[in-house]
A = this chain, B = another copy of it.
Amino acid sequence: MTGRGKVKVGVVGSQFQADIHVASIQQMGEDAEVVAVASPTAGNAEALARRYDVARWFTDYREMLREPDIEMVTITAPNRLHCQLTVDIANAGKHVVCEKPLCMTMEEADLMIDTCRERGVLLMYAEELFFTPKYVRAKEIADQGGFGEVYLVKQSEKHFGPHAAWFWDVEQSGGGVLMDMGCHGIAFCHWFLDRPKLRSVTAQLGTYVHGDKTKGDDNSFVILEFEGGQVGMVEDSWARHGGMDDRIEVFGSQGLAYANLHMGNALNVFSEPGYGYVVEKAPSTSGWSFPVFEELWNYGFPQELHHFARCVRGKERPRATGEDGRFAQLAIFAAYQSAGAGQRVEVDSFDPSDVPKPIDLWFSPLSR
């Protein structure tokens, strides 16, 4: 199952994230190429395919799965479809790259992981923070002992709301900003600390600015306590003006680091007339702004997909897997439970089986 030449890739979806996948694979084209895209909405797949000069497009992804040359399929569809897609792709004998969050329920997570294992395909989890160059550099410094013992890792992502309207509907998304972006920070802290066992989760959530559009949380704090005593602190918002903001802080017994992806990375620009594009979700290009550059690269998307293609060829082992997605999923369930119950959730005795989606626990927490 480790072929030769470029890995041929199919993409499921045609929106924001699908675009990123195709562009990223083309940017690091040595190891992979997108040969097909699939999207149910008539015309969407074709439009995407034509924009990037991709030869094949499908409205039914199952048709795409019958193409024998495709070795790896990436999933950028809504969260609630991730599980079914993964199972179908694995059963077609193709490797899976699944966007975050992994799925809706813990049962789905287990099914996805088990199916891929049984079918002998890789389940790769598209957590780009494991590849974000600035954050990877901080991890290297930690690994070199530059901070002594790391006891606290913080990650925060904030902007003014999601890419697509379906995120506002918790039935489709499974939760608010904690579900949408908290999965990043949760997986990141876990990975940065070398994946210690999670002991407890404490969370505070609220809907402060977008209550007219959603029942989901638009601002969240999550505190993760791990077995070795380390702490992860994840803070996310859909209620923060002024463009994207993504940052980490690392604290150790002998040092610390701050890293800021947007305001600390960009040009500092003042423009009266404005200009083409600042950064995802920035409100305006007039006045002072922090325009992003080499956006995909600075997030780590091309590096991520390049890595996944090399995993398919057996040259590397996946840095982010279904287990990472499952970890984040469990922590998200626990965080909604904590916010709903006003209690620190001890993970060992926490069982969210049969809960349809994480945010349900905020509205109706399990009784202990």
Contact = CB atoms under 8 A, between A and B. Distances in A.
A133 interface: yes
A353 B31 CA distance: 51
Contacts of A206: 151, 229, 231
Interface in A62-92: none
A230 to B, nearest CB: 8
A146 B273 contact: yes
A141 interface: yes
Interface string A211-249: 000000001010101000101010001011110000000
A289 B288 CA distance: 7
A275 interface: yes
Nearest to A264: B264
Contact of A137 (B145, B223, B283, B291): B291
A202 interface: yes
A172 interface: no
Contact of A271 (B141, B239, B267): B141
23 contacts: A134-B266, A137-B291, A140-B276, A141-B269, A141-B276, A144-B275, A146-B274, A146-B275, A146-B285, A147-B271, A151-B206, A151-B208, A151-B239, A204-B225, A204-B344, A206-B229, A240-B251, A241-B256, A241-B270, A256-B270, A286-B287, A287-B288, A342-B346
A241 B149 CA distance: 13
A268 interface: yes
